[in-house]
Chains A and B, each alone.
Chain A
Amino acid sequence: MAVGPRVLEAAGLPQPGRRSRLREWWEQEHIFGYGLIVPAVVLLVSLVAFPFGMAIYFSLSDYWVGSPGAFVGLTNYRDILGNETFRQTLQNSFVFTGIALSLKIVLGVWLAMLLARNLKFKRIIRGVVLLPFVIPTALSTLAWLWMFDSLYSVVNWTAIHLHLINPPGPNWLGQSAYAMAAVIAVNVWRGLPFFAITVLAGLMAVPKEFHEAAEVDGASSWGRFWHVTLPLIKPVLGVVILFSTIFTFGDFNIVQVLTRGGPINTTHLFATLAYQVGLQGGNLGQGAAISLFIFPLLAMVVFFQLRYVRKE
C-alpha cells in the first residue's frame, strides 16, 4: 500500500519526489492494468473498429471515391440484390466456401493424424507442411497461375504424359467449372496446413490411455477415431472451422490473381466484386455494401459456434 505524504511528514521522513509519486500512481493495479491494454485498444480501434464503422457508413451512403454522398439508407443493398452479377457472386461464395471448407476439414484431420504418428524427421516434415501457409498468397498464387496457364500448364502436361487426359486438356481458368475447381484447389492447398497443425495440437492433447482402453475393448481403428478421437478434438476443430469459414468467405488474393472474377463472373467472391465495384469503378458505397453483405450471417455463425464450443 502506498504511504501518504502526511504519514511521511508525521514520521519525520523526507517527502518523495515527483518522479516517485508518478511511479506510485502508475503502479496502482487499476491504472497499470488499463495502461497495459491501451496499445492493443488503440490498435484495434484504429485498424479494425474505425475502418469497420467507416465501411458501414459508406454502405449506407451514395459515397463515390473522393466525393462524399448523401445518406441513402439501404438503397445500396437493394440495388446489389437486384443485380444478376451480385446474385452470381453470392452463389459462387457459398459453393467456394462449402466445397473448400469440406475438403479442408477432411484432408486437414487426415493430415493431422498422419503427422501425429512417430515419423522420422517429424519436425522437418511438420515445418514443410506449413510452407503453403507461410508463403505470401499473392506469390504462391502466381506460381499456380503458371501451372494453370492455357498454353504452358504443367498440370495438363503431366496429366497428358501420364495418359490421364487427352490433349490439350482442360482450360483451367477459361471455363467456369474448371476455374472454380482451380480457385478451390489453391484455397485448399493454402488453408490445409492451418487445419492440420491446429488439429494436430488437439490430437497431442488426447491422452493415450483412452485409445488403449478402446483398443482393449476391441474398437477398430475407425471406431477409435469416431468414438474417441473425434469427440475429443471437437472443440479445437470447431474453432478452426470457425476461423476458416471467415477466411474462406473473405478470400481475395487467390481469385484476383487467378481469374479476376472471370470467366463471366463465375469465380467472383464478395471481396473481388467489392474491389471491382468500389475501387476500380469508384462506387465506394456499393463496394462497401457488397463486402458487408455477408457480415450478419458470419456474425451469427461466430455467435452460435462459440456458444457451442463453450458448451463442449
Chain B
Amino acid sequence: MTKTDRPVPTRRQFLSTSAGATAGIASWLALSKPPAFAQKRELTFLSWNHFVPASDDELRKQAEAFGKANNCTVRVDTMAHLQMPAKIAAEAQSQSGHDMYRTASADPFLYENLLVSMDDVVEKVGKQGGGWYPFAAESCQTKSGWKAIPWFWVSFPGTYNMAHYKKAGLEHPPKTWDELLKQGKILKKQGTPVGIAISHCSDAHSTYWSVAWSYGAKVLEADGKTPGIVSDKTAQVIEWYKELYKDAMEPEVLSWDDAGNNRFLLSGKGAWIHNPVSPYNAALANKQPIADDINHHNSPGGPAGIHSACPNLSMGIWKFSKNQELAKEFIAYLFQKQNFDAWIVASNAFNHPPLKNLADHPIWARNPKFAMLPKEADYAHPRGWPGKPNEAVQRIDDNYIMADMVAKAVNGMPTKRAMDWAQDQVTLAVKGQLKVG
C-alpha cells in the first residue's frame, strides 16, 4: 500500500461525511430533480444494435450534434434486437425508462395506449419528404392515430454466391420460389446448399410471410382477426418448405438465429439465403474476398406475384416521457435530408427511407449489387396483410407460430395437422389469450 501524507479520517469523521452525502443523494432522489448545477435536459433513446454498426455510430454523431444545437444531451442506448421486446415491456410496465424507443413491426398496436400521438410530427416530416410509403405508414397508424413514426425499412432480397451458381451451371438467381427449389436441389448436390431459417428468429418470419403471400396463402383474413391459415395454398407452401428442407437445405436451418444465415453464406458453404444486404456489408467491412462473389436480386415470387414482408422499423415516444416535444424535435432533425442521407451512407444501403423523396439516394444506383433494392418497396406489405397490422400480428411473430408450424411439418408432422395447430394458435393470439408458438 502506498503511504500518503493525507490525514486519515477518524471513524466519526467518516460517518458524518458519508451520512451527509447519503442525505444529499436521498433528497435529490426524493425530489426527482438533479441539483441545480446538473440541470440540463437529457433525451434518452433506446434502439437496437444495428446489423451495420457504422449506422449506430452515425446516429450517435447526429444525436450529439442535435444536443449541442439544443443545449441538451441525447443518449442513444442500443441492445440486441431479440432482447428489446422484454426491455420495452419492462419500461411499459414500470412506466419509466427511455423517452423514446425503436418500435418494430406492430409494436405501436401492442402499446397503443402507452405511446403519445405522433400526428403532428408525422404530418410535418411527411409533407417535407414527399409522403410515406403505404406499407411503412400502416405499421404506425392505429385506431387512435399515429402512435409511431416510420423510421426506415429493410429490403429483404435474395442474397446469393455467384461463384457457386456459376459452378453449378445456373445462369441466373431464382425469379420464383419454385425455381429456388429446383436450383437448390442442384446446389445441394454440389455441396453448396441454400438456406432459409425455420427457427425462433425474426428472419424466419420475414421469409414465411413473403413465401406465403407469393403463393396466395394468408395468416389472417382481410378483417385482421379471422385466422386464414387452413387452405390449399398454405398446404402448398408447407409442401414447398418440406421439399426445400429435404432436398436443398441442411438441418442447421432449424437452429439458426438471425445471424445464422449470414454465417452460412460468409463461410462459403451457402449458395443462397433470403436476407438483407448485411452479409455483403460485413464481408466488405472485414475485407473478405467472398464479397466479390456475393450479389443480390429481388425477392422471388410465386403464382400470386412477388410479395415481401420487409422489416419496418419506426420510433415511438412513451407517454411517461417528460421530453416529448424535445423527442419530436430530435426525430424531425434525423429526417433532415443531409442527416438521413448520411445515415443511409453509414449503413451502406441497409437503411431504406420510408419517405419517397429520400429514396432517390445515389448509393443504390451507384453499386449494381444494390440497384434493385429500392424496387422491393413495390412488393412490400406490413405483416398481417391483406388485413391491417394489429397486436395479434405482433403476437403471432413474437411467439414464432409460423416458424414452428413449418418446423413441425418438416420434422414429420402431417401438413394438415401442422396447419390446424397453427390455426389454433393464431385464434388464441387474436383473442389475446395465449401467445405461445
A contact set with B: CB distance below 8 Å: 64-67, 79-80, 83-86, 149-152, 168, 171-176, 179, 259-265, 273, 275-284, 286
Nearest CB of chain B from residue A128's CB, rounded to whole Å: 30
Chain A residues, Cβ within 8 Å of B85 = 279-280
Beta-carbon contact of B260 and A84 below 8 Å: no
Is B399 on the interface with A (CB-CB < 8 A)?
A: yes
Q: Is A151 a contact partner of B434 (Cβ separation < 8 A)?
A: no
Cβ contact of B93, chosen from A176, A280, A284, cutoff 8 A: A284
User: With A66-B113, A83-B428, A273-B436 in contact, is A150–B255 under 8 Å at CB?
Assistant: yes
Query: Could you tell me if A282 and B436 are in contact, using CB atoms closer than 8 angstroms?
Result: no
Taken together as a complex, chains A and B put the C-alpha atoms of A84 and B423 apart, in Å, by 13
If A151-B252, A265-B436, A278-B89 are given as contacts, then 7 extra A-B residue pairs at C-beta distance below 8 Å, sorted by A number, are A149-B263, A171-B252, A175-B254, A264-B408, A276-B436, A281-B399, A283-B435
* B-side contacts of A277, CB under 8 Å: 399, 434-436
Q: Closest CB of chain B to A169's CB: distance in Å?
A: 11
A150–B260 CB distance below 8 A:
yes
Residue in chain A with minimal CB distance to B201: A260
Q: Is the CB of B255 within 8 A of A263?
A: yes
Chain B residues lying within 8 Å of A259, measured Cβ to Cβ, are 200, 255
Determine whether the beta carbon of A265 is less than 8 Å from that of B437: yes
State the interface size on chain B (CB cutoff 8 A).
Answer: 44
- The answer to whether B93 and A66 have CB atoms under 8 Å apart is yes
Choose from B250, B267, B399, B407 the contact partner of A263 (Cβ within 8 Å).
B407
Taking a contact as CB atoms under 8 Å apart, the answer to whether A262 and B255 are in contact is yes
Residue contact A280 to B399, C-beta cutoff 8 Å: yes
Q: Are B434 and A172 in contact (CB under 8 A)?
A: no
**Nearest A-chain residue to B406, judged by Cβ:** A264
Q: Which residues of B contact A276 (CB under 8 A)?
A: 398-399, 435-437
* A174 cross-chain contacts in B, Cβ below 8 A: 199, 251-256
Decide if A264 touches B92 in the complex (CB within 8 Å). no
Is there contact, CB below 8 Å, between A151 and B428?
Answer: no
Q: Are B89 and A280 in contact (CB under 8 A)?
A: yes
Q: List 5 A-B contacts (CB under 8 A).
A: A66-B95, A83-B428, A150-B255, A261-B200, A265-B437
The answer on a CB contact under 8 Å between A280 and B411 is no
Interface residues of B in 254-277 (CB under 8 A from A): 254-257, 260, 263-264, 267, 269
CA distance A83 to B435 in the complex (A): 10
- When the two chains form their complex, are residues B86 and A280 in contact, meaning their CB atoms are under 8 A apart? yes
Number of A-B contacts (CB under 8 A): 118
**Structural contact, B263 and A171, CB atoms closer than 8 A:** no
Asked whether B376 is an interface residue with its Cβ less than 8 Å from the other chain, the reply is no
User: B110 to chain A: which residues have CB within 8 Å?
Assistant: 282
| Residue numbers in A under 8 Å from B269 (CB-CB) | 151
| Chain A residues near B411 (CB-CB < 8 A) | 176, 263-264
A87 to chain B, nearest CB (A): 11
Cα of A112 to Cα of B15 in the assembled complex, Å? 46
Complexed CA–CA distance, A262 and B85 (Å): 18
Assess whether B93 is in contact with A264, with CB atoms less than 8 Å apart: no
Determine whether the beta carbon of B93 is less than 8 Å from that of A85.
no
- Could you say which residues of chain A place their CB within 8 Å of the CB of B421? 84
Contacts of B404 in A (CB 8 A): 264-265
Residue contact A83 to B113, C-beta cutoff 8 Å: no
B66 on the A face (CB < 8 A) = no
Would B93 and A83 count as touching, CB distance under 8 A? no
Report if A263-B199 is in contact (Cβ < 8 Å); known contacts: A174-B254, A175-B254, A279-B85: yes
Cα distance A172–B260 in the bound complex, in angstroms: 14
For residue A62, which residue of chain B has the nearest CB?
Answer: B432
Hey, which chain A residues are within 8 Å of B92, CB to CB? 65-66
Bound state CA distance, A67 and B93, in angstroms?
A: 8
Given that A151-B269, A280-B89 are contacting pairs, would A86 and B436 also be in contact in the complex, using a CB cutoff of 8 Å?
Answer: yes
By CB atoms of chain B within 10 A, which of A80, A151, A152, A179 has the most? A151
Specify which chain B residues have a CB less than 8 angstroms from the CB of A152 in the assembled complex.
Answer: 263, 267
> Would you list the 3 A-B pairs with minimal beta carbon distance, nearest first?
A174-B255, A150-B252, A281-B435
Asked whether any CB of chain A lies closer than 8 Å to the CB of B170, the reply is no
> Does the CB pair B432–A283 fall under 8 Å?
yes
Please determine whether B254 and A171 come into contact, CB atoms closer than 8 angstroms. Answer: yes
Task: Tell me the bound Cα distance from A255 to B95 in angstroms.
Answer: 29
Report B50 CB to chain A, min CB distance, Å: 20
Q: Is the CB of A151 within 8 A of B89?
A: no
The smallest beta-carbon distance between A214 and chain B, in angstroms, is: 51
Which listed residue (A84, A175, A279) contacts B89, Cβ 8 A? A279
Q: Report if A175-B251 is in contact (Cβ < 8 Å); known contacts: A84-B421, A279-B89.
A: yes
Cα A276 to Cα B223 with chains together (Å): 27
Chain B residue with Cβ nearest A75? B433
Q: Which of B70-89 contact A (CB under 8 A)?
A: 82, 85-86, 89
With A79-B434, A262-B199 already in contact, the answer to whether A281 and B252 are too (CB < 8 A) is: no
A-side contacts of B408, CB under 8 Å: 264
Q: Are A275 and B260 in contact (CB under 8 A)?
A: no
